[in-house]
Amino acid sequence: MASGWQTMPPLDNAQPGGWALVHGPQGFLADANGVLFPRDWLKRQELPLAGEQGLGQFDGQPVWLLQLEQPAELAGCFWQGLRQFMLQADYPTFRMLSFAEQVATWHAQHRFCGRCGSPTRQVPGERCMRCPDCGLDSYARISPSMIVLVTRGDELLLARSPRFVPGVYSTLAGFVEPGESAEECVVREVREEVGIEVGNLQYLGSQGWPFPHSLMLGFHAEYAGGEITPQPDEIEDARWFPIDQLPPLPMSRSIARYLIDLYVARRLGQPEPQLLR
């Protein structure tokens, strides 16, 4: 039997049985046993269902997503947001919920055609909403972005946004602009956010980031010049931290933490961490 989470093309909603997740304005539904419920049982409950998406398999069993447009309650259950699951759940479960969140976002944002305004219909077997009037296809959107650790010998450039958990510092990140390469985005975003120049870029890996639909492309870059000048309203603080005096860092599952841990391990001659996928 397969272990963990496996993404698949959309499952046939006419297929009976299987497991189901429930996603709505309050987050994901859960109980003492977790987030997966018998699908047929859930569909007999008085929930305001707005849609159903076949997602994939968890431990070899098919999983669907039941979508709610309105808040609801179910005896013995509670609601929890994805960020809380990111901190608490095992990684295969978080991967499943991450994918479900992105599918739910795509479906909710493409119920109507962006060109003519007509209601759309899902294409069987595809993650595609098609307009029956003008034929526009809307696939699940992925927004490419870069995330970069900038270093200067035994010093790491880390910054914090006003949106961060108090005290936590992280790497720099930003979205790729149209017509721009990921490497050009690294140079531009670092210059915009902290006012310095970088060089010797190295691509290190990628990670899907479901807040709401990003693909984070991870880089390491070396300091090439300039003085730190935080971008107003974007960067609350930025500074060089010695490798042995690092501040509170992002959670271990994030690509930001991987970039930091990888550089520290290489600098100190320690075993290299693995990026969770």
Residue 277 maps to a domain? no
Instruction: State what percent of residues in the chain have pLDDT above 70.
Output: 99
Residues 70 and 157 grouped into a single domain: no
End position of a domain, from candidates 57, 83, 108: 108
Number of domains in the chain: 3
The answer to whether residue 275 is domain-embedded is no
Q: What is the mean pLDDT of residues 193-222?
A: 95
Same domain, 132 and 195: no
Is the pLDDT at 1 greater than 60? The verdict is no
* Run of H or E including 20: strand 19-24
Q: What is the pLDDT of residue 87?
A: 81
Is 193 strand, coil or helix?
A: helix
Query: Are 156 and 247 members of one domain?
Result: yes
Give the CATH number of the domain where residue 17 resides: 3.90.79
- Which residue among 121, 141, 161 closes a domain? 141
Phi and psi torsions of 180, nearest 5°: -105, 140
Is pLDDT of 2 > 60?
no
Please report the sign of the dihedral spanned by the C-alpha atoms of residue 186, residue 191, residue 194, residue 199: positive
Q: Are residues 158 and 192 in the same domain?
A: yes
Q: Between β-strands 78-80 and 137-139, what pairing exists: parallel, antiparallel or unpaired?
A: unpaired
Range of the domain at 209: 143-268
pLDDT at 79: 97
Which SS3 state, helix, strand or coil, does residue 43 take?
helix
- Are 53 and 161 contained in the same domain? no
Tell me whether residue 274 is in a domain: no
Q: What is the mean pLDDT of residues 172-201?
A: 97
117 and 41 within one domain: no
Q: Which residue, among 115, 117, 124, 156, has the nearest Cα to 53 in the 3D structure?
A: 124
Residues 182 and 226 in one domain: yes
Determine phi and psi for 247, rounding to 5 degrees. Answer: -80, 180
* Residue 83 belongs to a domain: yes
In a domain, 276, yes or no: no
Instruction: State the DSSP H helix or E strand holding residue 39, giving kind and residue range, or none if neither.
Output: helix 39-43
Reported as a single tens digit per residue, the pLDDT across 219-239 is 999 999 999 999 999 999 999
- pLDDT score for 184: 98
Do 69 and 129 belong to one domain? no
Q: Is residue 3 over pLDDT 80?
A: no
